Chain A
């Protein structure tokens, strides 16, 4: 019963990740043989069979294009399906992100796991239930209206014997289109949705049995390491193969400037990577992290774009009695996954199978097909868990690296990046610069607002990133980078009559960019919500009351008032100046998703500039809550990770390469820094579920900046909040 996902069984089933859900959250991580038997099934998003198979024993397999990145989708989506189908979670297994088995539901990004992935599967399950009831009605000879699906059976509502799903369907296909109108169960009847059911993978993770992509092995597999260029854009001059002659079985793989070593033993591959003598051209194409802000202001630019315009911000600012301004900078940051990216690839005989922790296995299938010069149908990308990623880290690069090496040597290959590869070469969260102006009217209300932003154009929402391996190997690939919807939440979520938001698009980005958790919204909310506090101070108003004045959305008002109650907020203007301060920030994520208010208490040491965050309070409304415990964990993660980004993190680089290549040069939050967390989750069963993987990040930096301002009257506008910056801001005073 408790057979865990073993390496052998992974192999037997071709490595598809199938997680069974046992009673009471026991891990039944196991591979259903039927997953492999299902090869050739439809991947159509419009077919019930795309998402759901019901087996002869009455058990259910879900095929989910979204993947669990440590986020809890692995429990939440089965909860949604189980509820609609009317079957226990212990009868459900889920295949995730297998390009040969799961429909393409889009990358697991942008907090769409539940909203898109889960909601589609829920609708498939509702459609399937209707069909099961129809079949049951025929077999039982009773009207469908008298029947319901319960515990894996179609039963008369009034009681009496039913008939099992397995008997009705038994591995046959539904051959049924997804019905967008198939009725959903009413929230009042929910038994599984809304329950804090334990995640099925936790016992295996905690006892060392969970198979990550790093742990996956194939027979005859070689270990590889890539040798990245000495500096960005450098060309390979010379490789001294003799320099690794003494290492058993070690050899090089070279495709133009793409260089790797392989060996039968992993440690030998690492030794070969270190021993290999390589000469590269000098390359000094980068600007260096200290020059990024100047560079952003200077251009070259591609275009200016007005993103939002209401009233006449210019005229109204000119007429305002009290005018304020502030410039905010968010630096480049790394995803900083705890494990460096890894992938296993087997490219032989015109076919490729790639085991990857990519957030977008279907997208990666297309990319790999092109790079390997294979038909997409002959390329299978199978998701296996990696170390948590929060946007596109090195997983896709590592997968393509592994596939290129495997193709070159005709053997299965496991490629793992080293720590310096991940810190040095993962695509980075791009820099953001914002300049804000605001004016108050004679009643102390915001009359005018102007946001001016400088952003790399390469951050616009283009389809595919350039990957390092093909770039070095000079293999054509689709260009363009996606860093998510980076311009959102750049204006106040409060009533302001005159608003303008302008972006200057820069031609380039200082380092290869990608999406990083809550892309753009973290920096934008940092600027907007910090500036709101400055305006509140100018108006001599309490920061919560000042915000409530401009809010009419009842859900926004509720998160603010509940957060204030949660932390025992005392209404008064800021700053207080006693060294201990409190701050607040609010976001309506993307202006149409989750509502979050965050309050923070921080102690600031004037002499040393040290910040100690003591308490964080959060009120969170993402509509219908599927699993309140998994949701809380996402909120906790959002808060702590963003605190880390705000307090400590900036990628450093010189003219040639990234210089923050380990945890000493790129420090993050540690256990002693962890504050008390108070979280108030608002469940709205009659509203649609909204994303929760990102929203609570957005208010964190401003809530902290506002707490620091309240504590010592100093305004921090540049991240990270280093002690030097705190001391400098104190010395500047109220400016």
Chain B
């Protein structure tokens, strides 16, 4: 059983795992109780499990715990709360950009990483940044409107 130290939503955490290949997703959801991060495919294909690691949108389902040591992870819960949502979350709420909401974690996290890098992202930038984030409910249009709203553009 090895211990891994890293930061999650600004707090230092230590997690034990008997398997260095355990994906970060399972650590977040089970050991740390951060269930905002979702299991969609476990294959890196859908984006439901996206977290932000040191500024980059990363798929936690294919990121082993051993690769996280010393790094800084932000999850959907750490981005904001219902009372004090992150601007991207506030834009998603304003546009009502969730149906079932299962893809929402990945959509918000990927958009937050995009806008942190490129605050004035265009519609096309948003479409490209989210090209690997799947949604089955057909919420795409509202998600794109939300990203444009957060980018200070008319949705």
Q: B-contacting residues of A (Cβ < 8 Å)?
A: 2, 4, 7, 26-27, 69-71, 198-199, 201-212, 214-215, 248, 265-268, 270-271, 335-340, 385-388, 390, 416, 418-419, 629-630, 633, 636-641, 644, 662-664, 668-672, 674, 677
Question: Given contacts A202-B93, A662-B45, are A271 and B19 in contact (CB under 8 A)?
Answer: yes
B41 touching A206, Cβ below 8 Å:
no
A-B contact pairs, 27 of them (CB 8 A): A70-B100, A71-B99, A202-B97, A203-B82, A203-B93, A205-B101, A207-B36, A207-B81, A208-B37, A208-B75, A208-B76, A209-B82, A212-B38, A214-B39, A215-B29, A248-B18, A267-B26, A340-B40, A637-B138, A640-B140, A641-B137, A670-B134, A671-B131, A671-B143, A672-B128, A674-B140, A674-B144
Residues of A contacting B: mostly: loop
A686 to B54, CA, bound (A): 56
Residues of A close to B143: CB separation below 8 A: 671
- Interface code B115-155, partner A: CB below 8 Å = 1, 0 otherwise? 00000000000111011111111111111100000000000
User: How far in angstroms is the closest Cβ of chain B from A430?
Assistant: 19
B93 touching A198, Cβ below 8 Å:
yes
Question: Which of B45, B76, B141 is close to A207, meaning CB atoms less than 8 Å apart?
Answer: B76
A669 touching B140, Cβ below 8 Å:
yes
B96 touching A339, Cβ below 8 Å:
no
B40 touching A339, Cβ below 8 Å:
yes
A419 touching B40, Cβ below 8 Å:
yes
Max count, chain B CB within 10 A of own CB: residue among A7, A662, A663: A663
Max count, chain A CB within 10 A of own CB: residue among B36, B93, B105, B142: B93
A636 touching B136, Cβ below 8 Å:
no
Question: Given contacts A385-B100, A419-B43, A668-B134, are A207 and B80 in contact (CB under 8 A)?
Answer: yes
A663 to B89, CA, bound (A): 27
User: How far in angstroms is the closest Cβ of chain A from B129?
Assistant: 8
Residues of A close to B53: CB separation below 8 A: none
Residues of A close to B103: CB separation below 8 A: 338
A267 touching B99, Cβ below 8 Å:
no
B108 within 8 A of A: yes
20 more CB-based (< 8 A) A-B contacts, given A202-B93, A388-B137, A670-B134: A2-B83, A70-B99, A70-B101, A198-B93, A206-B92, A206-B108, A207-B77, A208-B77, A211-B35, A212-B38, A338-B38, A338-B103, A338-B137, A387-B102, A387-B136, A633-B142, A639-B138, A662-B45, A668-B136, A672-B131
Residue of B nearest to A1 (CB): B83
**How many CB-defined contacts (below 8 Å) exist between A and B?**
184
Residues of A close to B97: CB separation below 8 A: 202, 206
User: How far in angstroms is the closest Cβ of chain A from B88?
Assistant: 9
A637 to B38, CA, bound (A): 21
Question: Which of A4, A69, A208 is close to B105, meaning CB atoms less than 8 Å apart?
Answer: A208
Residues of B close to A669: CB separation below 8 A: 138, 140
B48 within 8 A of A: yes
Question: Which of B30, B34, B96 is close to A208, meaning CB atoms less than 8 Å apart?
Answer: B34
Max count, chain A CB within 10 A of own CB: residue among B33, B75, B140: B140
Residue of B nearest to A664 (CB): B45
A339 to B93, CA, bound (A): 21
User: How far in angstroms is the closest Cβ of chain B from A218?
Assistant: 14
Residues of B close to A640: CB separation below 8 A: 138, 140-141
B139 touching A633, Cβ below 8 Å:
yes
Question: Which of B26, B46, B76, B85 is close to A338, meaning CB atoms less than 8 Å apart?
Answer: B46
B126 touching A671, Cβ below 8 Å:
yes
A201 touching B101, Cβ below 8 Å:
yes
Q: A-contacting residues of B (Cβ < 8 Å)?
A: 17-19, 22-23, 26, 29-30, 33-43, 45-46, 48, 75-77, 79-83, 85, 89, 92-93, 96-105, 108, 126-128, 130-144
A27 to B92, CA, bound (A): 14
A204 to B81, CA, bound (A): 8
A674 touching B127, Cβ below 8 Å:
yes
B133 touching A339, Cβ below 8 Å:
no
Max count, chain B CB within 10 A of own CB: residue among A7, A207, A336: A207
A584 to B133, CA, bound (A): 30
User: How far in angstroms is the closest Cβ of chain A from B22?
Assistant: 5
Residues of B close to A204: CB separation below 8 A: 82
Question: Given contacts A205-B104, A633-B139, A640-B138, are A340 and B37 in contact (CB under 8 A)?
Answer: no
Residue of A nearest to B86 (CB): A207
A337 to B134, CA, bound (A): 10
Residues of A close to B136: CB separation below 8 A: 335-338, 387-388, 390, 641, 668
User: How far in angstroms is the closest Cβ of chain A from B85?
Assistant: 6
A26 to B79, CA, bound (A): 18
Max count, chain A CB within 10 A of own CB: residue among B42, B77, B89, B134: B134
A214 touching B38, Cβ below 8 Å:
yes
B131 touching A210, Cβ below 8 Å:
no
B82 touching A26, Cβ below 8 Å:
yes
Question: Which of B26, B131, B134 is close to A266, meaning CB atoms less than 8 Å apart?
Answer: B26
Residue of A nearest to B35 (CB): A215
Question: Given contacts A418-B42, A662-B45, A674-B144, are A209 and B101 in contact (CB under 8 A)?
Answer: no
Residues of B close to A636: CB separation below 8 A: 138-139, 141-142
B19 touching A388, Cβ below 8 Å:
no
A340 touching B39, Cβ below 8 Å:
yes
A339 touching B102, Cβ below 8 Å:
yes
Residue of A nearest to B130 (CB): A671
Residue of B nearest to A342 (CB): B39
User: How far in angstroms is the closest Cβ of chain A from B19?
Assistant: 7
Question: Which of A206, A416, A419, A670 is close to B98, meaning CB atoms less than 8 Å apart?
Answer: A206
A639 to B141, CA, bound (A): 11
Residues of B close to A340: CB separation below 8 A: 39-40
B39 touching A416, Cβ below 8 Å:
yes
User: How far in angstroms is the closest Cβ of chain A from B51?
Assistant: 11
Residues of A close to B48: CB separation below 8 A: 338-339
A340 to B38, CA, bound (A): 10
Question: Given contacts A641-B137, A662-B45, A663-B134, are A212 and B102 in contact (CB under 8 A)?
Answer: yes
Residues of B close to A390: CB separation below 8 A: 136
A4 to B77, CA, bound (A): 13
B96 touching A209, Cβ below 8 Å:
no
Max count, chain B CB within 10 A of own CB: residue among A201, A202, A209, A638: A202
A419 to B47, CA, bound (A): 13
Question: Given contacts A71-B99, A206-B101, A208-B76, are A265 and B141 in contact (CB under 8 A)?
Answer: no
A338 touching B77, Cβ below 8 Å:
no
A210 touching B101, Cβ below 8 Å:
yes
Question: Which of A209, A266, A388, A670 is close to B102, meaning CB atoms less than 8 Å apart?
Answer: A388
User: How far in angstroms is the closest Cβ of chain A from B145?
Assistant: 10
A700 to B136, CA, bound (A): 16
Question: Given contacts A338-B135, A633-B99, A671-B127, are A27 and B82 in contact (CB under 8 A)?
Answer: yes
Residues of A close to B108: CB separation below 8 A: 206
Kindly list the 10 A-B residue pairs having the minimum CB-CB distance in the complex, ordered from nearest: A208-B36, A70-B100, A388-B100, A205-B101, A640-B138, A208-B76, A637-B138, A70-B99, A215-B35, A387-B102
A640 to B99, CA, bound (A): 13
User: How far in angstroms is the closest Cβ of chain B from A75?
Assistant: 10
User: How far in angstroms is the closest Cβ of chain A from B9?
Assistant: 10
User: How far in angstroms is the closest Cβ of chain A from B43?
Assistant: 6
Residues of B close to A386: CB separation below 8 A: 100, 102
A338 touching B43, Cβ below 8 Å:
no
Residues of B close to A266: CB separation below 8 A: 26, 29-30
Residues of A close to B142: CB separation below 8 A: 633, 636
User: How far in angstroms is the closest Cβ of chain A from B151?
Assistant: 15
A209 to B101, CA, bound (A): 11
Question: Given contacts A198-B96, A672-B128, are A638 and B138 in contact (CB under 8 A)?
Answer: yes
B138 touching A629, Cβ below 8 Å:
no
Max count, chain A CB within 10 A of own CB: residue among B34, B41, B48, B103: B41
